[in-house]
Amino acid sequence: MISVDSLSFRYQGAEQDALHDITFTVKKGEWLAVLGHNGSGKSTLAKCLNGLYLPSSGTVTAAGFDTRSDETVMQLRRRVGMVFQNPDNQLVATTVSDDVAFGLENAGIEREQMRKRVKESISLLGLTGLEASEPHRLSGGQKQRVALAGIMALEPDVVILDEATAMLDPKGRSEVLAMIHTLRERGVTIITITHDVSEAVDADHLLVLKDGRTVTHAPPKEVFRDDAILAHAGLVAPYAVQVARALQARGIALPDVMTEEELVMALCTYTQKT
Ligand SMILES: Nc1ncnc2c1ncn2[C@@H]1O[C@H](COP(=O)(O)OP(=O)(O)OP(=O)(O)O)[C@@H](O)[C@H]1O
């Protein structure tokens, strides 16, 4: 679904590449989380994936479209939706329904079909009952869900969330993370850009960047157990992983865990056994 081959990108006037020789693929229905500290190139990569930025060298193909092709750029944008960090910058209409319909109107979708897709998308994102609400009166998490509903109405193949939870409180953050799981169940390919390791534990693969270069591209379990990789990338393992490893180092026989829920379950099993 996404194929990035030897991608390098340099901002105009910059002395070095913001992305250097990046290669990876993402299969249909997979979730890739891109991790890295500030300035590692995550957002630049996200914008390369839907053609907002074009490669200085190498190629990016998303949903079957080469991002450099002028003829297919509109199809590419429809197939590859993007949610950004600030929910307030993404909502354009005066009601939730109109906002969700906005992209469909631009795409020239016929009225009856548009109504149907808006309704479905609002329901999928758990916004039923808020159709007539003014978007600016919603919570941050609800606003991001409206932005996602607008994208889902266009029936995309890929959804990229660029730090989409960064400005949200814990409730809003868990709302958006829950929606990622919903989209995934529907077979949508997901790319999340984050510097919060705990938000990446459920992804199929992690792409870890440092100074615009790939540090590793591997499943979360492999990455989070590799101290050398984490230290090199300036990251720390998720809290549950750290606690489990500290207990294992003290001779407590726990399995490897990734989330706080898994840690609690492992501790319950351990205490029942001993
Ligand atoms: N518009 C721009 N012009 C020139 N250089 C830029 C521009 N935007 C980003 N950069 C540079 O490109 C590099 C990668 O930036 P990018 O924003 O992609 O990193 P990031 O990992 O998303 O960072 P953050 O976590 O802070 O959002 C950095 O060195 C940054 O200074």
CATH number at residue 214: 3.40.50.300
At 182-214, the pLDDT tens digits run: 889 989 999 999 988 989 999 999 999 999 999
Same domain assignment for residues 228 and 242: no
Same domain assignment for residues 70 and 195: yes
Same domain assignment for residues 147 and 226: yes
Residues 59-72, mean pLDDT to the nearest whole number? 94
Known active-site residue 175: no
CB 121 within 8 A of CB 186: no
The better pLDDT of the pair 146, 169 is held by 146
Q: Is 137 exposed, middle or buried (0-12, 13-18, 19+ CB in 10 A)?
A: exposed
Range(s) of the domain holding residue 16: 2-234
Q: Is 250 exposed, middle or buried (0-12, 13-18, 19+ CB in 10 A)?
A: exposed
Same domain assignment for residues 224 and 246: no
If you measure from the C-alpha of residue 40 to the centroid of ligand 1, how many angstroms do you get, rounded to a whole number? 7
pLDDT at 274 over 80: no
At 218-273, the pLDDT tens digits run: 999 999 989 899 999 999 999 999 999 999 999 998 988 998 899 999 999 998 88
Same domain assignment for residues 70 and 161: yes
* Ramachandran region, residue 137 (left: φ > 0; alpha: ψ -120 to 50; beta: rest): alpha
Closest-CA residue, ligand 1 atom 16, reads 41
pLDDT at 108 over 90: no
3-state secondary structure string, 109-128? Answer: CCHHHHHHHHHHHHHHCCCC
The closest-lying atom of ligand 1 relative to the alpha carbon of residue 195 is 25
Give the residue, out of 11, 49, 85, 209, with the most ligand 1 atoms within 8 A of its beta carbon, to mutate for a pocket test. Answer: 11
If you measure from the C-alpha of residue 264 to the centroid of ligand 1, how many angstroms do you get, rounded to a whole number? 38
Closest-CA residue, ligand 1 atom 12, reads 18
Question: Of the residues 110, 131, 163, 260, which is catalytic?
Answer: 163
Confidence of residue 16 (pLDDT cuts 50, 70, 90): very high
On average, the pLDDT of the chain sits at: 92
User: What is the reported pLDDT for 115?
Assistant: 94
If you measure from the C-alpha of residue 19 to the centroid of ligand 1, how many angstroms do you get, rounded to a whole number? 10
Closest-CA residue, ligand 1 atom 30, reads 39
* Ramachandran region, residue 196 (left: φ > 0; alpha: ψ -120 to 50; beta: rest): beta
Closest-CA residue, ligand 1 atom 26, reads 38
Same domain assignment for residues 109 and 221: yes
User: What is the reported pLDDT for 179?
Assistant: 86
CB 258 within 8 A of CB 201: yes
Residue located via tokens 């890295």:
36
pLDDT at 60 over 80: yes
Same domain assignment for residues 267 and 225: no
Same domain assignment for residues 131 and 188: yes
If you measure from the C-alpha of residue 177 to the centroid of ligand 1, how many angstroms do you get, rounded to a whole number? 24
Residues 161-166, mean pLDDT to the nearest whole number? 88
With a Cβ cut-off of 6 Å, ligand 1 is lined by 11, 14, 18, 36, 38-44, 195
Residues 151-176, mean pLDDT to the nearest whole number? 88
Same domain assignment for residues 185 and 242: no
User: What is the reported pLDDT for 87?
Assistant: 78
Least confident of 20-24, 74-78, 98-102, 158-162: 74-78
pTM of the model: 0.90
Give the residue, out of 7, 9, 40, 161, with the most ligand 1 atoms within 8 A of its beta carbon, to mutate for a pocket test. Answer: 40
Same domain assignment for residues 173 and 160: yes
Same domain assignment for residues 228 and 250: no
User: What is the reported pLDDT for 63?
Assistant: 93
- Looking at the 3D structure of the chain, how many domains does it have? 2
Query: Which residue type is seen at 18?
Result: A
Same domain assignment for residues 264 and 209: no
Spatial separation of the C-alpha atoms in residues 199 and 56, rounded to whole Å? 30
